[in-house]
Amino acid sequence: MNRAIAVISLAVAVALAAAGAPAACAFPAAQGVLRRFAGECVTEKFAFARMESAEPQAEIAARDGKILIRATDENRAAAAVGRYIREVAKGHWSRSGNRVPTDWPLPEKPITVKAVLPHLHAYNYCVFSYSFAFYGEEEWRANIDRLALSGFTSALVPTGNMKVWQLFLRDAGFSEAQIAAFLPDETAQSWTNCGVMEGVGAPFPPERIDEEARLGRWIVKEMRALGIEPMLQGFTGLLPNSSTNVLCGAKWPDARIYDQGRWAGGLKRPVLLDATTDAYAKLAKMWYRRLYEVYGISDPRYFVGNLFSEGGVAKGVDCPRIAAAMQREQQKASPGALWCISCWGAAPRQDLLNGLNPDLTRIIVLDRNMANGGVFPRGFGKITWIWGELLNFGGNEGMYGGMNALLNLSGHLKGPNGKTLRGYALESEGLDSNPVFYDLFTDLVFRPDATGTTGVSPVANTLDQWLAGYAERRYGIRDSRIAEALSILARSIWNVNRMQEGCSETVFCARPKWDVKKSSSWATREKMYYDPQDVEKAARLYLAVAQERPESLKLPTFRFDFTDVFRQVLSDRGVALVPRLKDEPAARAEFLALIRKMDALLACTEALRLDTHEARARKRAGERGVRSLRRLFTTWIERPNSNLNDYAHHQFAGLLSNYYLKRWEAFFAHPEDPDAALDALERAAPSASCPSPPKDGDLLALARAIEQ
């Protein structure tokens, strides 16, 4: 029967071809990315064809009046579309807006599209809370398209994992009450998935669990269609704290459970089940069965899962043996899959790695050193690894950049561990600021001259030229003043010269005190590494262009960057006022005025308004979702004054005027005993009234007033 159907299908295809019907596109998924970016009319200018090669790659050329994309697979075809848009058509895509070109010229000569290293990976666990918590299919469609255009080959996909947990825990014998107490809400799931806490924001409504499961399944399907391999959660034996009552009984007689201690100032970590027991082997089978059921696949190439993250207790644990046992169960579930483990701080423990098969393991490095000269200090023996940038923490706003880290990517290949380096990774905790950094990063990984083994990156010697090209692609503007502004920023605030965790934070979002230096616990307390006058000068140059070209402010990309540079000006002026606050009432008044100015400025740009983010949360999860989002942005968990307080602070219109400003006003009113007032504001933050600021502000006039 199947043979007969095949013969009929072939006959139909021949008949259609003879009748002049259009041939099927060789790479329909890549073509779909192009269509969504540029429209059907532009898509008709392209042709797609397959090429044979032992290595994934593509070529862009002109043939018969069309832009021909020849590629080995869908993934390289989409990457070639991205390279054409970037290099030939001078277009741009980003999380803060696209610029679709008006001209789509034929390439003057063939362009080979081949990555320096085989793997480009996307996403840190944290970004799913700080940037993606309330994303739906529309937002994920744009996310996946950007990954495809940039050439990413794999991505972490924890969306839907709460359904896996729910079904797995039922199978294991946990009660519905125990399951509900364990599963966190949308903004807290990242840290349950990476094994450091449980139950924050619980209960997570069953209908939302099911919605997220459907979305996760769709994400996996769409990614795989474009050759982006999902990394799914492996079973590392981390279980709810209620496990002692469930597992240590007749059903699981050999279960051994280890306490993991506490995380981030008192949050109870999940417990760890000894993987060398029969109980673990049985539970692992349950986990992988449910994982495949939820995501609709049975052959993942990558599992993720971390142990002992950020101080987890390993007392009494035979790390090599449990690691080996976990990997055995992974191989039973999907032979040949790699266990991908994050390298952050002291993790992973070396004794854990000693128990693993190097050929079935990969390390993803999260490198916070954005002043890095291109050599990560730790090696992993025969285990292959991926270097990952970690530019952003907590999703905070703040101009910041690791131009050094990017311009010296080749150092990782030339260093002592270069032979085992297999790629690069996008590991920022939040992705909505500093778009220039991510554009340069994804450009360099496809440039052998920039990241290869010979010499220093030519981009390091022609950075000004690259920045001018970036401005043209992002804004559609050729203007020496914009190029100069970018050059100033690239050598100043975008070029950190020391190790620190993310940007030099604003003080507006800090819990008030007289000698305040930062907003969150782990940020640097040192003086600024850049001269604030550089940012002021760049802002004046942007303003000069906007005054001559007011239409440029209608372009989302220019508007975002224009707003951001003036936001940074106000933030830096606030820092400069701190030494005067205690003794000068005029300085206090000026400080509060700066916060109000920033709120009005940011209200003019959708992405920098609190109500924009709340609307997404409300659409997915109603007022519960809004409360969850506010909690994350303010106290992080439902109690004030923990060391996570203000970790995910945001300079958003509406949040500044309704929360941070009120904290500073309360402090200035009662500086001798402010805690009661501040505690009350923080406790009320998730549910407090937060009127949205007007949207009809004059951005250009506000910027002029700041510069007067």
Higher pLDDT, 430 or 412: 430
pLDDT number for residue 703? 98
451 pLDDT exceeds 70?
Answer: no
CB proximity list for 261: less than 8 A, separation 6 or greater: 269, 311, 312, 313
Q: Tell me whether strands 58-63 and 66-71 are parallel, antiparallel or unpaired.
A: antiparallel
DSSP β-ladder status, 229-233 and 302-304: parallel
d(CA 538, CA 692): 30
Parallel/antiparallel/unpaired status of strands 271-273 and 257-258: antiparallel
Last residue of a domain, one of 61, 96, 113: 113
Instruction: Flag whether pLDDT at 15 surpasses 90.
Output: no
Pairwise pLDDT comparison (638 vs 38), residue with the higher score? 38
Are the C-beta atoms of residues 508 and 541 closer than 8 Å to each other?
no
Q: What is the pLDDT of residue 10?
A: 38
CB 562 within 8 Å of CB 699: yes
* Residue 393, domain member (yes or no): no
What CATH number corresponds to the domain at position 51?
Answer: 3.30.379.10
Cα distances (Å, whole numbers) of residue 84 to 32, 88, 101, 103: 15, 5, 11, 12
**At 459, is the pLDDT very low, low, confident or very high (cuts 50, 70, 90)?**
low
| 547: alpha, beta or left? (left if phi > 0; alpha if psi -120 to 50) | alpha
Q: Per-residue pLDDT averaged across 544-562, rounded?
A: 97
The set of residues, in sequence order, having a beta carbon less than 8 Å from that of 150 and lying 6+ positions away, is 79, 82, 120, 442
Q: Which residues contact 614 (CB under 8 A, 6 or more apart)?
A: 626, 629, 630, 690
> Is 259 among the domain residues?
no
Output the CA angle 610-614-617, nearest 5 degrees.
150
Span of 20-24, 90-94, 424-428 with lowest mean pLDDT: 20-24
pLDDT at 160 over 90: yes
What pLDDT shows up at residue 5? 40
Q: What is the pLDDT of residues 88-127, one digit of tens each?
A: 999 999 999 999 999 999 999 999 999 999 999 999 999 9
Torsion over CA: 385, 386, 389, 393 (sign): negative
Q: Residue length, the chain?
A: 708
Mean pLDDT (whole number) for 648-669: 98
- Domain hosting residue 701, numbered range: 489-523+566-707
Task: Copy the structure tokens of residue 135.
Answer: 């994303």
What's 670's domain CATH number? 1.20.120.670
Question: What is the radius of gyration, based on Cα positions, of the chain?
Answer: 26
Q: How far apart are CA 51 and CA 557, in angstroms?
A: 36
pLDDT for 120 equals 98
* Number of domains the chain contains: 2
More confident residue, 356 or 251: 356
Q: Report the DSSP pairing between strands 267-268 and 421-426.
A: unpaired
Task: Kindly give the interhelix angle for 556-581 and 463-475, rounded to the nearest 10 degrees.
Answer: 120
Q: Which two tokens stand for residue 569?
A: 């000006």
**pLDDT for residue 14:** 39
Is residue 605 pLDDT above 90, yes or no? yes
Confidence check: pLDDT of 550 > 70: yes
Query: Which DSSP helix (H) or strand (E) runs through 693?
Result: none
Per-residue pLDDT tens for 277-335?
999 999 999 999 999 999 999 999 999 999 999 999 999 999 999 999 999 999 999 99
Nearest of 337, 345, 349 to residue 234 by alpha carbon: 337
CA 695/CA 528 separation, integer angstroms:
33
At 229, which amino acid appears?
Answer: E
Tell me 107's DSSP state: P
Q: Provide φ and ψ at 688, rounded to 5°.
A: -70, 155
Cis peptide before 22 (omega within 30 of 0): no
> Span 430-443, mean pLDDT?
97
Rounded to the nearest angstrom, the gap between the alpha carbon of residue 631 and the centroid of all alpha carbons in its chain is: 20
Tell me how far apart the alpha carbons of residues 350 and 264 are, in angstroms, rounded to a whole number.
23
Residue 228 located in a structural domain:
no
Q: Which amino acid is at 454?
A: T
Amino acid 677 reads A
- Domain membership of residue 448 (yes or no) is no
For tokens 């079935």, what's the residue? 360
| pLDDT above 70: percentage of residues in the chain | 95
Cβ-contact 227, 73 below 8 angstroms? yes
Q: Which of 427, 395, 405, 425 is nearest to 505 (CA)?
A: 395
Question: Residue 22: what pLDDT?
Answer: 55
* Residue 112: C-alpha distances to residues 51, 115, 249, 497 (Å): 12, 10, 62, 35
**pLDDT, tens digit (0-9, with 9 covering 90-100), for 120-158:** 999 999 999 999 999 999 999 999 999 999 999 999 999
Q: Does 687 map to a domain?
A: yes
Model confidence at 244, in pLDDT bands (50, 70, 90)?
confident
Domain end residue (candidates: 52, 80, 113): 113
Compute the distance between CA of residue 386 and CA of residue 367 in angstroms, rounded to an integer.
Answer: 10
Of 577, 564, 589, 595, give the one whose Cα is nearest residue 661. 595
DSSP letters, 43-106, are: HTTEEEEE---SS--EEEEEETTEEEEEESSHHHHHHHHHHHHHHTS--B--TT--B--S--PP
- Rounded CA-CA distance 596/63 in Å is 57
Those residues whose C-beta lies under 8 Å from the C-beta of residue 577, and which sit 6 or more positions away, are 587, 590, 591, 594
Tell me if 49 is assigned to some domain.
Answer: yes
Round to whole Å and give the CA distance between 623 and 192.
Answer: 23
Strand partners, 650: none
Q: Which of 52, 79, 113 is the last residue of a domain?
A: 113
Please state the separation of Cα 441 from the chain's center in Å: 13
HSE-CB at 159 with a 13 A cutoff on CA atoms is: 28
Across-strand partners of 341?
A: 363
Quickly list DSSP for 398-441.
Answer: ----BHHHHHTTHHHHHSTTGGGEEEEEE--S--SS-HHHHHHH
Contact present, 564 and 494 (Cβ < 8 Å): no
My answer on whether omega of the bond before 110 falls inside 30° of 0, hence cis, is no
Instruction: Report, as an integer, the average pLDDT of 72-90.
Output: 98
Distance of CA 283 to the CA centre of its chain: 31
The pLDDT of residue 363 is: 98
Q: Domain for residue 498, yes or no?
A: yes
The single residue listed with the structure tokens 């605030």 is 493
Which position has the token pair 């989409």?
78
111-113 and 361-367: which strand pairing? unpaired
